[in-house]
Amino acid sequence: MGTFCEQGMGVPQNLDKAEAWYRLAVAQGVACARNFLDDLVARREAAVTARHEADAQATAVGKKANAEAFAAAAAAKADTAAAAEARVREETREANREAAVAAGKKADAEAAAAAAAAADAAAEEMDEPDVAQMRAEMTQMREEDARLRERAAGDGNGAGGKAGSGTAAAAGGGVTPKPGVRHPPAVEEEPGTRFHDGRSRARRC
């Protein structure tokens, strides 16, 4: 019966019942029952060991897969963090560039405002009396220049009436050249060549 239960011949295969029948036969003194029992127990222990090993291997495979998945997730997270950090650095650089441009524009605007303020201050320092005095000085210079031109023209006409033998009088001086005497060249004043204090700058003819 132990063999029938072990092999499943005529009855459903059941190793527990087969082992029980083998033990009963051993107790009754059946010689071959010990061999069948030892073989069945060895094969059942081997099957249990194999099942345990398979379970352990499956567990190890599962743990390895979990570890790999965790490592992949950690790597993806690290890549995401690195990308986020790079994006933050780029945004920071862009913000710094924009701040530098804004600072440059602000400095230019402040310089322009300072220049305009300096120009306004200079314009305010030149008040109306100074302008009037400058205009009076310019008018005086023009009048003095006109008088000098009229005087030079009158002196030239008088010298022309007294000249003789084709010898012209010195321009503006009214001096008739004498034979054997070397006279200095006449001096003629250019219009508009007077200093602010009334002195004239003359040029030589």
Instruction: Give CA separation, 103 vs 37, 64, 109, 113, in Å.
Output: 96, 57, 10, 15
For residues 97 and 121, the model is more confident at: 97
User: Picking from 11-15, 79-83, 159-163, which range would have the lowest pLDDT averaged per residue?
Assistant: 159-163
**pLDDT at residue 11 tops 70:** yes
In a domain, 91, yes or no: no
Exposed / middle / buried, residue 99 (Cβ in 10 Å: 0-12, 13-18, 19+):
exposed
Give residue for tokens 């012209």. 168
**pLDDT at residue 184 tops 80:** no
Q: Residue 26: give the domain boundaries.
A: 2-63
Q: How many domains does the chain have?
A: 1
In a domain, 27, yes or no: yes
Buried b / exposed e over 51-78, threshold 16 CB at 10 Å, is eeeeeeeeeeeeeeeeeeeeeeeeeeee
**pLDDT at residue 198 tops 80:** no
Please report the pLDDT score of residue 154 as a whole number.
Answer: 79
Give residue for tokens 């204090």. 197
The residue-averaged pLDDT of 173-191 equals: 51
The first and second tokens of residue 1, run together, are 């019966």
- The Cα–Cα gap between 126 and 58 comes to 101
In a domain, 193, yes or no: no
**pLDDT at residue 86 tops 90:** yes
Task: Report the alpha-carbon angle 185-190-192, nearest 5.
Answer: 160
For residues 18 and 81, the model is more confident at: 81
- What is the residue-wise DSSP string for 182-205? -PPPPEEEEEEEE-TTSPEEEEE-
- The Cα–Cα gap between 4 and 12 comes to 9
In a domain, 23, yes or no: yes
Please report the pLDDT score of residue 94 as a whole number.
Answer: 92
3-state SS record for 35-71? HHHHHHHHHHHHHHHHHHHHHHHHHHHHHHHHHHHHH
In a domain, 29, yes or no: yes
In a domain, 40, yes or no: yes
In a domain, 108, yes or no: no
Please report the pLDDT score of residue 152 as a whole number.
Answer: 87
Per-residue pLDDT tens digits for 119-171: 777 666 665 667 778 888 889 999 999 999 988 887 766 655 555 444 444 44
